[in-house]
């Protein structure tokens, strides 16, 4: 998996996507500090310990660098930036049954807009497992020579501190240590 680069000064207009989501009752917004525990517990349950840890880091800064997708008070997805590395987008995830509705792109674009507003010119997506998604949603390009990328080897411990794709998928997928 390579790292990707995104031009924050040339982002696609998120407006129509967000409008469509709003029409379907889905709000994409920055998470609030008081939502830290439920959001991180949800990320841990659906995407594993490593991503929950990064999410915690996003709740430890001001402004909080975690965005959530919510319908009827229920979490459908999340996305973070500036967690493990400054200027980096991720992790992000959408509930399996809610994928393909534009939620992932909405979360991504809201985070990237926030990064641009904070003064970044480019964002890095570290160890991007979903290259086509990032290419389509924000015109990301691969950084030459960036494999294995900015994420160092994982700790080998219970809970599998995965990064780059959800734990459940990764448990059966080859890893740099096993492949």
Work out which of 8, 28, 66, 128 binds ligand COA, going by CB under 6 A.
128
* Span near ligand COA by CB under 6 A; candidates 7-15, 52-60, 95-103, 153-161: 95-103
Stretch that binds ligand COA, among 30-38, 116-124, 125-133, 153-161 (CB under 6 A): 125-133
118-to-51, 79, 150 alpha-carbon distances in Å: 23, 17, 22
Binding map of ligand COA across residues 53-92, x = CB under 6 A, - = no contact: -------------------------------------x-x
Regarding 99 and contact with ligand COA (CB under 6 A), the answer is yes
**Residue placing its CB nearer to ligand COA in the complex, 53 or 102:** 102
List the one residue from 7, 30, 118, 133 that touches ligand COA (CB under 6 A). 133
Check if the beta carbon of residue 85 is closer than 8 Å to that of residue 123. Answer: no
Place of tokens 């991720």: 90
* The binder of ligand COA chosen from 14, 26, 28, 94 (CB under 6 A): 94
Residues interacting with ligand COA, by CB under 6 A?
A: 90, 92-94, 99-105, 128-130, 132-133, 136-137, 164-166
């Amino acid at each position: 998996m390579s790292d990707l680069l995104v031009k924050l000064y040339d982002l696609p207009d998120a407006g129509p996507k967000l409008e469509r989501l709003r029409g379907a009752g889905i709000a994409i917004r920055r998470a609030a500090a008081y939502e830290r525990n439920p959001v991180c517990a949800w990320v841990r349950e659906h995407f594993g310990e490593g991503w929950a840890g990064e999410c915690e880091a996003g709740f430890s800064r001001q402004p909080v660098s975690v965005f959530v997708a919510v319908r009827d008070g229920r979490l459908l997805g999340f996305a973070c930036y500036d967690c493990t590395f400054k200027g980096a987008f991720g992790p992000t995830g959408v509930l399996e049954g809610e994928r393909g509705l534009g939620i992932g792109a909405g979360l991504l674009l809201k985070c990237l807009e926030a990064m641009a507003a904070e003064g970044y010119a480019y964002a890095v997506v570290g160890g991007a497992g979903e290259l086509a998604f990032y290419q389509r949603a924000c015109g990301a390009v691969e950084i030459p020579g960036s494999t294995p990328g900015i994420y160092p080897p994982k700790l080998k411990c219970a809970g599998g501190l995965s990064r780059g794709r959800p734990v459940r998928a990764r448990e059966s997928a080859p890893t740099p240590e096993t492949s």
